[in-house]
Structure formats: structure tokens, C-alpha cells
């Protein structure tokens, strides 16, 4: 029986056979494939210099030593790309942009991965999703009620939620048990804020 407690429900979902989150070995392979897709010879050339600079004529390019996707985003994108390889014949949906990057999201759409549409009231229309479909949760996570609806529909959930995001959810759960109030600093309509607040009691 599905629990109505958000934290218990999420744990039940993670143990179900309709939930996919890769192990460390699979993730390493996925990340390597991602680097091959998003490789830049120019960036490689700049990285090969000791001070991350490249001078062409009278123009000098400087590259930040730490640049590109953070590891949580890299992980989410790698899992999202891999979902097409893992489920080649399935209809695959995304609840939101996997990350806020137009190139990545366009690439996913070119792989035939679609967004769950929104109705006239700007609410997600889950009626398009059928049992047996695959649904990708973004790096920002998803609201508990959305995950419950997807589980009810019998879809396979590919969870790309950043571990740092789910760590915040753990804090919300811990505070809830202690009857503390969690204060979320973020945009009220952002996917991550909506997902995080869905783990609180009120």
C-alpha cells in the first residue's frame, strides 16, 4: 500500500521495480559518454596551457579553472541521455527541463524525449502519460504529488534528482520530525522550491 507520508512514499518508490537510478559503475560510463557529446576542442586547447589561457593574435582568452556543469547537473544530464539508450522503444517524458540549458534540452527533444504538456491553467497534463511510459524527473526533483501520480499510472521513473537537492529534503524531514519550521530560500515557483516544500507538512 502506498504511504501518504512524503518521505515514506519516496523510500517505497525507490525500492519499486518501476524506479531507475544508476549505480556508480553505470554512472561513470554515462558521464564519459556525456563528455564525448559535449567535448570542445577549443576548451581542451585552453585547458592544456598551465594558466588556462589562449592567445590568438592580440586577443587572450582566459578560462576559469572550475567551469562547465557542476557534478550534480553533469550526472542528471548523463542519466537523461542514457534513458533513451536504456529504453529505446518507450515513450519518454520529462516533467520539466532536466536542467536550465537550452542546448541540452534541445538535444533531449531531438532524441524524442518530450515534455509533459501544460493545460490552459498552466498545470501539467498527466493524462498524456500511459502505463509503460518512462518519465524523467529533473535535477531539481519533483513534487511528491507528481511522483504519486506517476506511480499510480504505472510508469517507469528515471530519477535525475541531484543528491544535494535530496539532501535538503532529508533536512526538511528531520526538521519536520522535530516539529521545526524549514525556511526555503528560493523562487516560489521554481521546480526545486516546489519539490522541496512538498516534503514539508504544510
- The structure's pTM equals 0.85
126-164 pLDDT, tens digit each: 999 999 999 999 999 999 999 999 999 999 999 999 999
Contact between residue 156 and residue 134 where contact means Cβ atoms under 8 Å apart = yes
83-138 pLDDT, tens digit each: 999 999 999 999 999 888 888 889 999 999 999 999 999 899 999 999 999 999 99
Task: Work out the end-to-end distance of the chain between its first and last CA atoms, rounded to an integer number of angstroms.
Answer: 23
How far apart CA 197 and CA 144 sit, in angstroms, is 9
Which residue segments constitute the domains of the chain, with CATH numbers given? 6-22+70-197 (3.40.50.11270)
Catalytic residue among 82, 146, 191, 192: 192
192 is catalytic: yes
How far apart CA 43 and CA 24 sit, in angstroms, is 27
How far apart CA 161 and CA 143 sit, in angstroms, is 11
Amino acid at each position: 500500500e502506498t504511504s501518504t507520508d512524503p518521505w515514506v512514499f519516496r523510500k517505497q518508490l525507490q525500492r519499486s521495480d518501476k524506479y531507475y537510478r544508476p549505480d556508480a559503475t553505470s554512472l561513470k560510463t554515462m558521464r564519459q559518454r556525456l563528455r564525448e557529446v559535449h567535448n570542445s576542442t577549443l576548451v581542451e586547447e585552453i585547458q592544456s596551457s598551465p594558466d588556462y589561457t589562449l592567445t590568438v593574435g592580440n586577443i587572450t582568452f582566459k578560462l576559469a579553472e572550475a567551469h562547465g556543469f557542476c557534478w550534480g547537473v553533469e550526472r542528471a544530464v548523463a542519466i537523461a541521455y542514457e534513458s533513451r539508450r536504456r529504453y529505446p522503444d518507450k515513450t519518454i517524458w520529462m516533467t520539466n527541463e532536466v536542467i536550465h540549458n537550452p542546448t541540452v534540452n534541445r538535444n533531449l527533444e531531438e532524441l524524442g524525449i518530450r515534455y509533459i504538456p501544460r493545460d490552459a491553467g498552466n498545470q501539467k497534463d498527466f493524462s498524456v502519460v500511459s502505463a509503460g511510459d518512462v518519465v524523467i524527473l529533473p535535477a531539481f526533483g519533483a513534487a511528491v504529488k507528481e511522483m504519486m501520480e506517476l506511480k499510480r499510472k504505472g510508469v517507469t521513473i528515471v530519477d535525475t534528482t541531484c543528491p544535494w537537492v535530496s539532501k535538503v529534503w532529508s533536512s526538511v524531514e528531520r526538521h519536520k520530525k522535530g516539529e521545526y519550521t524549514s525556511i526555503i530560500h528560493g523562487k516560489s515557483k521554481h521546480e526545486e522550491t516546489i519539490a522541496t516544500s512538498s516534503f514539508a507538512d504544510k
